[in-house]
Structure 1
Amino acid sequence: MVLALITGFTGQVGSQMADFLLENTDYNVIGMMRWQEPMDNVYHLSNRINKKDRISVFYADLTDYSSIYKLFETKRPDVIFHLAAQSFPKTSFDIPIETLHTNIIGTANILENIRLLKQKDGYDPVVHICSSSEVYGRAKVGVKLNEDTPFHGASPYSISKIGTDYLGRFYGEAYGIKTYVTRMGTHSGPRRSDVFFESTVAKQIALIEAGLQEPIIKVGNLSSVRTFQDCRDAIRAYYLLSVESQKGNVPCGEAFNIAGEEAFKLPEVIEILLGFSTRNDIKVQEDSERLRPIDADYQMFDNTKIRSFIDWKPEIPARIMFKDLLNHWRDEIKRGRIPLNR
């Protein structure tokens, strides 16, 4: 029986990764989390966790080497989906050191523990290193980004993910650890954190519909053009790559873009979400506090490489993804979970 570890278990991607594995495989799952993390995204799994029904929780912190050592020494997962990170680019301008420490040192703690255990007794798991499309940063307009496109960090977050990306490749090439690196483009859907653009727009619409906010959506820079994909499609790609890696079909340290194939200007995203609203009086207003010092304004991707390794393509239309996201926030508010207006 395959044992899978998910770091970042309580986040959007981590929680949906757990859902996918429990629903579509016979894997047992360990969700790694810090003891004080919010459980909002995984309450639906609490009963299964309590009963130890194919899923359990292990408390650890990426930046605490000893807790990571204890995890690997005692549990020995066969597949590791390393999804934990400080993942919000704008926040990284306010907490650059924490972002760098969590994302780079945290990843190094995982890989170094595996290296030492492999050297000690042959422990040899598959390790998925989650990088980000933000590593490409300020790409040239009109250029489709592939895996050989040079990196150009445009935030402390993107720089931290460049470090994470290189660590995944280095430990694969230097020590033969079965790593693969993914650079996921903009992704969304239910459970998307409200600090991200399309989610904060959907959240504000839901708040306005509930009479909890004036009919004004506050936004940052709207000049960006990017692809969007449903997180659930990306998770399927993560899993399929892990299967091929277990078979030895993915070279150690190989990197893959995973991106949607529908592109939107950000004002178009607002228009789509407003089209789902019960209100027709909502205005849009720029908020200077939501602007980044530098933005990754243009992100269009080439999925050719990943589609040569696995039978995969995005299947959930972006409009359904946006509607599901808005309904997620409506449901949260109906349940009395009133989000902060940020």
Structure 2
Amino acid sequence: MKTVYIVIPIVVLVLAASVFLFGGSYFQEPPQICYLAPLEKTSLDLYYDCEDFDTDTVLKLPEIDRDKLVTLSLELINEDRELYNSPAIELGESSTAQEHAEELLNICKTSYWSSNGMKPYMRYSASGGDGAINENVRVIGTPEIQKYWTEEAIEQIIAWNQYSMVERDEASEFRHSTNIIHPDHNYVNIGIAWSNFCVTIVHQFEDKYIEWSQLPIITLNYEFMLAGRVNFNSTIEQIDIFYDPIPMPLSDQELMTSPRTYGFGHVCSHIMCSDGSLPIATVLPNIENDNLGPDILEGILNQESNIPILIAHKWEVTHGEDFTTFSIEEDFSRLMNLTGKGVYTVLVWASPEGSDDGMVLTTISIFFL
């Protein structure tokens, strides 16, 4: 019996020595490379066929046409929109969807935040976007298994992702689905990227209806101003202002653990995102009573509102058969003294003539730094 107990420690010592000398390779399985198994759009999940891989072997990667993949994605989006009676959309010009898709290859995990701490509407605005956007993101694959992607494999993934986001989106309460088929969208910016480990797909749906003569700004004197022309006859109902703190850089770990959805304002951060996002102020026209000045009306409305109400001192709107022009200004001094530096995101709400449904014309962020 004693001999047995003596032998065991000797074996353990030998194994420990081999780990020390050979870096643990004694225990490692041979590296593998995996190929996507045939995938139908209605498949419940993705599967891979894997085989041992000699690391000295140089793989000749197939050529993959990204433009062709983007065209396919757009076609599938419009097929679903037609199925649900929404008008077709066109490919947008913003590069932010592609940039975000490429950045997510670093972590191979879905995140609506970027490493500079920005959310989708911030990235869109910082790159010159002047409409309203809503984003869908999906990362497929893992950093543990090396993949060999072909163009056909990525096409199958795009079709599978499209079907699952529209028809099997229960886990996201059909937010992706609603975004894809929403009738107000008229453009989509598509980002598709791939590495040896994962494929990333970003759909940034865009509503562009305004020709701007003055993009929303907050001057150094805290004057809020915007002016432009909506390309249909509408009523500008109100303007909601959301506030986010100045974005700060995020680590890969913070991106990997960020919420699976995003929202406007400070109650939605990379740590936790609340569904109860509220604006820090709402700007209204002085139309309730022409005999009351903006300050008096503002005081009356704020008695019954849990959101600060600002009555614009300038709210000029003209209507044509197929257009609406507007010029709006308001003093943000009191608001800015409370919140200070940060990102102020402007949501302009409008109702098209003959419709009771409001629509958001802008998600434009003003970086007041």
TM-score normalised by the chain length of structure 1: 0.27
* More helix, by proportion: 1
TM-score normalised by the chain length of structure 2: 0.25
Larger Rg: 2
* More strand, by proportion: 2
